[in-house]
């Protein structure tokens, strides 16, 4: 029996996904958006210059360490201009999403959310760090931009007040990090009472098994919002037979028991993990001090 049946049955045949559109300039971002739209995607996350924004114009202090340098104020200006340009080019036919990655000061995050309101984002993700949750009241008082939050959360005390206070609109928790399918189901049911929808964390470094778990929760949840999805290389589909299929902007399950996915351990051994430092973990502010990754 598929897991979604054990949860109570499915509310939908497939889960709407959002894709990631990025580029070093706004024209590249729009080209990426249009390509995804042609594939059928209706929800697209837009980022300019990768996770750290555009940093080529930054002047670093002598002796500053290497890293992905990030100018918070420049990031805000560039992305507000990006949102405006994207709306001019593709109109309102596509839902736009954006992720701040908690890299702004709370007051700058409040201002960014307010200034972005006119672009009608589907949601603005992680505007604040988990230790700054009180600032969500200020965002709500300033604007109606939908807010998504949760990928760094670990404990119910972090998400309960935001849900009950109707301070966020989408749950972005990482299912394995919060304890697995049962805790995720419980949180989704709790959030449903407050009009908060699910948008489980599903970046490229989430395993195919994790994506399958996300999908079964998506199919069951009456308050499903959207599902993050990143394309895998072809060999990953061989290592993980049963990996959910995505077409036309939707993720589809199979009817196999459990999560419907398996692992070919012998084939997986051909692709050992690489011991390397990812550039996004080396984000720095203009003066060289570390920023949140």
Residue 291 domain-assigned (yes or no): no
The tally of domains found in the chain comes to 1
pLDDT in tens, 259-272: 999 999 999 999 99
Catalytic residue (one of 51, 85, 194, 252): 51
Specify whether 20 is catalytic: no
Residue 280 lies in a domain: yes
Residue 211: active-site member:
no
Write out pLDDT tens, residues 161-209. Answer: 999 999 999 999 999 999 999 999 999 999 999 999 999 999 988 999 9
Domain contains 12: yes
* Contacts of residue 160, Cβ cutoff 8 Å, sequence gap at least 6: 190
Handedness of CA 35, 38, 40, 41 (dihedral sign): positive
| pLDDT digit string, tens, across residues 210-262 | 999 999 999 999 999 999 999 999 999 999 999 999 999 999 999 999 999 99
Rounded Cα distance, 101 and 202, in Å: 14
CATH number, domain containing residue 176: 3.20.20.120
Per the domain annotation, does 292 fall within a domain?
no
Q: Which of 43, 101, 174, 211 is catalytic?
A: 101
- b (16+ CB within 10 A) / e for 253-273: bbeeeebbbeeeeeeeeeeee
* 226, part of any domain: yes
Q: Give DSSP secondary structure letters for 107-120.
A: HHHHHHHHHGGGG-
Domain that holds residue 272: 3-284
157 belongs to a structural domain: yes
Within a domain: 222: yes
Predicted model pTM: 0.94
């Amino acid at each position: 029996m598929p897991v979604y049946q054990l949860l109570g049955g499915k509310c939908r045949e497939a889960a709407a996904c959002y894709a990631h559109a990025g580029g070093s300039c706004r024209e590249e971002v729009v080209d990426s958006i249009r390509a995804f739209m042609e594939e059928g995607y209706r929800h697209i996350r837009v980022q300019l210059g990768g996770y750290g924004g555009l940093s080529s114009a930054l002047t670093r202090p002598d002796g500053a360490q290497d890293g992905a340098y990030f100018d918070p104020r420049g990031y805000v200006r560039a992305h507000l201009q990006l949102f405006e340009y994207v709306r001019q080019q593709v109109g309102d036919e596509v839902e736009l999403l954006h992720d701040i990655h908690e890299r702004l000061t709370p007051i700058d995050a409040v201002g960014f959310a307010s200034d972005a309101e006119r672009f009608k984002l589907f949601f603005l993700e992680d505007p604040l760090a988990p230790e700054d949750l009180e600032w969500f009241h200020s965002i709500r008082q300033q604007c109606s931009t939908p807010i998504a939050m949760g990928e760094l959360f670990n404990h119910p005390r972090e998400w309960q007040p935001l849900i009950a206070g109707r301070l966020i609109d989408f749950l972005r928790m990482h299912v394995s990090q919060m304890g697995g399918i049962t805790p995720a189901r419980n949180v989704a049911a709790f959030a449903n009472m407050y009009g908060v929808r699910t948008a489980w964390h599903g970046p490229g470094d989430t395993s195919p098994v994790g994506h399958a778990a996300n999908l079964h929760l998506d199919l069951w949840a009456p308050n499903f919002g959207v599902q993050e999805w990143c394309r895998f290389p072809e060999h990953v589909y061989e290592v993980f037979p049963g990996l959910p299929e995505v077409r036309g902007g939707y993720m589809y399950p199979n009817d196999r028991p459990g999560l419907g996915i398996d692992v070919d351990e012998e084939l997986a051994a051909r692709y050992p993990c690489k011991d390397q430092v990812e550039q996004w973990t080396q984000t720095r502010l203009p003066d060289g001090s570390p920023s949140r990754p």
